Each structure stands twice: as C-alpha cells, then as structure tokens.
Amino acid sequence: MRKHWKAAALTMACLLALAGCEKETTEVLETVTQTVETETETQTQAAAETETETETGEETLSVIGERETVDGQMQSYLTGEWKDEAVVTRRPIAVMIPNNEQAMPQYGLASASIIYEAPVEGRITRLMGIFEDFDDLDHIGPVRSSRDYFVYTAMGYEAIYCNWGLARPYVEELINSDAVQNISAGVEGIHNPADEAFGRISRPGYAKEFTGYLFIDGLKEAVDRLGYDWEYDADFVPQLTFAADGVRAEYEDAQDVTVIRPGGTESNSGGYGAYDPWFEYDSDDHLYYRFQDGEAQIDERTGEQLAVSNVILQYCHGEVRDSHDYLAFGVHGVGTALVFTDGKVIPASWSRMEGDGVPPKFYDADGNEIIFNQGKTWICNIWEEYSEFVEFE
C-alpha cells in the first residue's frame, strides 16, 4: 500500500529549545497525514565513545566505539567500514554535482560515502558528494555551482568544498570567509580561485556547462598551495552512529518499506518531481538502488547503478528568495525526518544546535540516537512545505 507522510510543524517552544525538542508520536503509516513528534537531546559524541550498547526499540545494538588502527586500517566516520587509515583520518571533499537530465551520467559519484541531495531553482535537485575515497579517481563530475545551504551542510563534515560556478548573489560572502576552505574555479564572486583543480572533458552533444570536472591531482595541488589542513579537528563530531561489525540494525517492529519516492509521483513536486527519482530496496544485499527519469541512475565510471545502505529524508523549512527562484533552506535547528535502513522506516527527528561545525544528528521517537547500518548513505533535503508529496510503500 502506498503511503504519504507530511512533516509536522514545529512549535516555537521547540525551535527555541537548546537541548532538543519535546514531541509526541502517533502510529506511523496508519493515516495519510501523520505527525511525528519526538523528544530529542542534542548529543555530540556518539561515535567517539567506547563501544557500547544502544537502545533501538526493545533491543540493544552494539555500535562502533572509539576508533583504533588494525593492520593499517580504521573504521570510517562516514560509512563505519574498514578503510586505509590514511583515508579515514583525512578530511573529505564535498563536490557539487548537477543532477538534471543534461548532466547524466555523472562520473565518480559511486565513490562518495555520503550523497546529499537538495532542491535548487527550477524545481530540480543538485547533489553534493562527500568523498573520502578519491585517490583512485582521476576526476569527478561534472561540477556545478554552490548554494549556501550546501556549504553549511559541508561544514558539518569538515569537508573541503569544491564547486564551479557563479558565487553571487547568496554565496559569495560565506564561501570566501575564513570559515570555509574551498576549492573553486575562477568565476565571478570567487576571491581566491583554484583553477589548477578544474578542467573540461569533451562530451559531444552536451552543453559546455556540463563538461567541467574536478581533477584529483589538481585538487591536491590546490589544497597544498592554499595551505588547507587535511586532518580532521580533534573535536570532530561524526554525523552517524553505525552498528558494530557483524551486527545489523534491523528494527524488526518498524514498518517494511521497499520503495521510497522523495517527490512522490506528481510532476515537479517540491524540487524532486522534475525527474521522478526513487529508491528500491533489495533484501538480498540490503541496499537501496537509485532510479531517476524512469531508469536506473548509474555511475559513468563503473557502469553500475548507484546504491546505498541508508536513506534519510531530512525535512527542512524552505523559502523562495527572489524572482530567479533561488531557494533557502533551514539546515540548522531542529526538525523531523524519516530514516530508511534494512528495509524499514523509522520516524525520526533531527537536531543541529551546536553550530556550523557539527552536523545534524538523528533520533528516534524515544530520543535515542538512531543506529545506522554500515555503508553509504543518501540524504534527501525535503522541502517541508511540500512534504505531502513524499511517498513510500
């Protein structure tokens, strides 16, 4: 049965609460429009604590605790998976990637540990890949311009922010500030460009704006020239808490969901309907496969369909800024969310009350931090005012 879910409006008291927000939870998925109100507390050290047991419903799950090096490998902050220590102790890069039909297929996107998707003008979406595994890539892209809500999101991962496109009118001050370490092509509004990191690749039949790519060798040269630090800060806060090795976060009492449509099926709904993206869950490999514009969304480099272990719908208040349809989204504060993992949906809340340098954390209806399964995650920024279009079944 297809279900719709509409985010609940937050009360003023909830918006002002510094420790979280108090909510009540109704039976999920039993009405067309549902209110999910949860009690949350902002927590900033979930994955930095020693291995512990965390409540998820009536069961307890062992989670990844303090990271340690074993045979030259360490568990990733972004996926929980074992990778080379040099990779997971290095700050990631956040790369702006267009997602409209004219840009397909994208190159290297399957290597991103986290993919963040949000609407931009014209009611299409743009992607931001958070990459820690990029040494084996020659290039990533195509690469497009920034929006400030993407920059603020990237800051929560301590990512080096990479983009190519006009920085005015809403991004210039932020992206050129000391708070953002950016690798940007030399265009209007960029004060300290890094042109050595970018170049064009011939794509017959494609408009020029979809031929610009980030080249990894040039990126590394630019980071060194600009004096950026590759190391995470000592007080870095991971966004997600992952189940320990050999453990699955199954949420047996939660509702089964095999298809997720962030924009529903109605054309051009809230920034997700223009190309009708959706995810399908495969219980054999526990992955969510991405589709768009009626077909599988693939990575040009691998030729394989994009797939992730977790999908998050993060509901954010949005506004149209001007006559050019530039958008603004509230990516700080508190809000509601839906978390999909292991074929289940968990009604959730999110909280980002600690500033730009800390990412949003996700909590269940009892205020416990949600435990994710190890692997890649796709986060969809849902325009809260269009939340009625979200569908899953």
Question: How does pLDDT run across 56-83, given as a tens digit for each residue?
Answer: 444 577 999 999 999 999 999 999 999 9
Residue 6 has pLDDT above 90, yes or no: no
> Percentage of the chain surpassing pLDDT 70?
85
Residue 138 has pLDDT above 80, yes or no: yes
Distance set, CA 12 to CA 15, 108, 333 (Å): 5, 42, 12
Q: What distance in Å separates the CA atoms of residue 192 and residue 88, rounded to the nearest whole number?
A: 28
* Residue 61: per-residue pLDDT: 77
Mean pLDDT of the chain: 87
Q: What is the DSSP letter of 193?
A: -
pLDDT digits (tens, 9 = 90+) for 32-42: 233 333 333 33
E strand or H helix at 289, and its extent?
strand 287-292
E strand or H helix at 372, and its extent?
strand 371-372
Residue 14 has pLDDT above 70, yes or no: no
pTM over cut 0.85: yes
